[in-house]
Amino acid sequence: MKKSHAGFWVGLAVLFIAAIYSAIVFLTKNTFDLSTWLLYGFTMVAFLLVAIQAIASARSGSGIVMDTTLGVVTAIYFGLQFIFGGIVCMFFTDLPTTPVLVCQIILLAVYLVIAFIMYGAQSHMSAQDHNDQRNVRKLRLLESDIQGMADQQSDSVLKQALKGLAEEIHFSDVVSLPALADVEDRVAQNVAILQDEVTDADANPLARIETIRRLLKERDRTAAILKR
């Protein structure tokens, strides 16, 4: 069974358990006052949040949602709500409505705040990973272009210089940041010019290679500063 399918079935199982819990409550609880309905309602919300998160992992196709810290936070909220709101407090009658409502709202609000913060952090990290992967592909293409130029060269000095440049690009910092866009564009432009210069007898490709190397060092220095 794929993990994403497992998440879907976990969500359905949670909803099924919620139905069983509801049946037990209605069969064993003789009277329902407002406080009891509040406790029951917030407990159902906790069940629903767990089910939604599990099913969301199935829809994402990776199951990653339930594996993250966000899943742990949801599990903690559910555990607290279910034990204290869904079980312990259900044994009492005539609980004051206002304190019950305030406690339930505070617990849910704390969970939601933490959950939104965690979700925002995860979304940012996911976007950064995507940008870094895209930047890696871009750098590998540049490296491949320069390696291809080196393979076609008969001049040993130029060939060695191109291989050295390809190696510097290979080990360049792969981080992708908006502040690096300008220098990255200049690197790409100079590589494009270099492709023409290596076949032009009147050009000086070694000087162009040195320019690209300086730009790469500038990029790596800027990336190191921005990551501090």
| Nearest Cα residue to 208 out of 158, 168, 167 | 158
Residue 11: per-residue pLDDT: 85
The CA distance from 116 to 70, in Å, is 9
Residue 67: per-residue pLDDT: 52
Listed by start position, the domains of the chain span 3-95, 131-226
Which region among 69-78, 124-133, 183-192 has the lowest average model confidence (pLDDT)?
124-133
DSSP letter at 91 equals: G
Q: What is the pLDDT of residues 146-198, one digit of tens each?
A: 999 999 888 899 999 999 999 999 888 888 778 888 998 999 899 999 999 98
| Cβ burial, residue 40 (10 Å; 0-12/13-18/19+) | buried
Residue 2, SS3?
coil
Does residue 61 come out as left (phi exceeding 0), alpha (psi in the -120 to 50 range) or beta? left
- Read off the pLDDT of each residue in 116-139 and give the average, rounded to a whole number: 78
pLDDT band at 87; cut points 50, 70, 90: very high
Q: What is the pLDDT of residues 3-50, one digit of tens each?
A: 456 777 888 899 999 999 999 999 998 888 999 999 999 999 999 999
The CA distance from 42 to 202, in Å, is 78
Residue 106: per-residue pLDDT: 96
- H or E, element range at 101: helix 97-151
- Read off the pLDDT of each residue in 115-134 and give the average, rounded to a whole number: 76
Residue 6: per-residue pLDDT: 73
Q: What is the pLDDT of residues 197-226, one digit of tens each?
A: 988 888 899 999 999 999 999 998 988 888
pLDDT band at 60; cut points 50, 70, 90: low
Query: Residue 49 CA to chain centroid, in angstroms?
Result: 20
Share of the chain above pLDDT 90, in %: 48
- Read off the pLDDT of each residue in 120-141 and give the average, rounded to a whole number: 78
- Amino acid, single-letter form, for residue 201: A
Residue 171, SS3?
coil
